[in-house]
Amino acid sequence: MNTLATAPLSPLLERLFTEADAATSPAVAEMSRDERQRLMQSKTEYLDFYERLKDLWLPVSRETGRLLYMLARAAKARSVVEFGTSFGISTLHLAAAVRDNGGGRVITTEFEPAKVARARQHLAEGGLSELVEVRAGDALQTLSSDLPDSIDLLLLDGAKSLYAEVLALVEPRLRPGALIVADNADNSPEYLAHVRAPASGYLSVPFADDVELSMRVG
């Protein structure tokens, strides 16, 4: 069973990656590189920053998408949490893996309402809606309650400045051996210091296309 490589998901992802590549944002074009870097690391201005980026899809790369599917399959993940849905490209990969593992639930969260609506539409097109709960709002609220007792895989792909806070919310539910994939983690030095610290309860390595791959130990 490989939902990723078959219709309707395979042609849908090809179309969505192409649309994502073509998306532009005048607001971002006007932002200097320094300003963008500063806002990306801010713990107080992240909502404003991502509101300005709302026209951009900012998806995981095609390779990271495939990697997510492979890791979730290898971990036999049936309970997945994602921070940062955007238009749903990474969510589609994770939900495909959960389906091919025999079913389960992906909880994903996004605060931008237009993105939530498009992500739900794409999940319906991919035939994966019944596996995914899209929580609309700030992850610091939406992931602070009603999490599954045991979580097999966590994808961090929202505001980089919040990776450590979101991990702290989910951490009590991560099963031993759970995987944490943090995209573009180089922009989150606080998070990297935490998961790489020997006493933190994780094993962690930089991996693939600007990803930090960590495993909950014990």
Ligand X SMILES: C[S@@+](CC[C@H](N)C(=O)[O-])C[C@H]1O[C@@H](n2cnc3c(N)ncnc32)[C@H](O)[C@@H]1O
Give which of 37, 34, 101, 113 is closest to 70, Cα–Cα.
101
Nearer CB in complex with ligand X: 79/91: 91
Nearer CB in complex with ligand X: 10/201: 10
CB of 218 to ligand X, least distance (A): 28
CB of 67 to ligand X, least distance (A): 12
CB of 87 to ligand X, least distance (A): 6
Backbone phi, then psi, for 175, in 5-degree steps? -75, 155
Instruction: List residues bridging with 109 in a β-sheet.
Output: 83, 135
CB of 56 to ligand X, least distance (A): 8
Give which of 182, 184, 185, 169 is closest to 214, Cα–Cα.
182
Give the whole-angstrom CA distance, residue 194 versus residue 180.
13
Nearer CB in complex with ligand X: 152/183: 183
Instruction: List residues bridging with 205 in a β-sheet.
Output: 213
Nearer CB in complex with ligand X: 67/75: 67
CB of 134 to ligand X, least distance (A): 11
Nearer CB in complex with ligand X: 166/195: 166
Give the whole-angstrom CA distance, residue 155 versus residue 64.
11
Which token pair is 55? 């026209």
For binding to ligand X (CB under 6 A), which residues are involved? 46, 50, 58-60, 84, 86-87, 89-90, 109-112, 115, 138-140, 157-159, 162
Which token pair is 22? 């073509």
Instruction: Tokens 């991990």: give the residue.
Output: 167
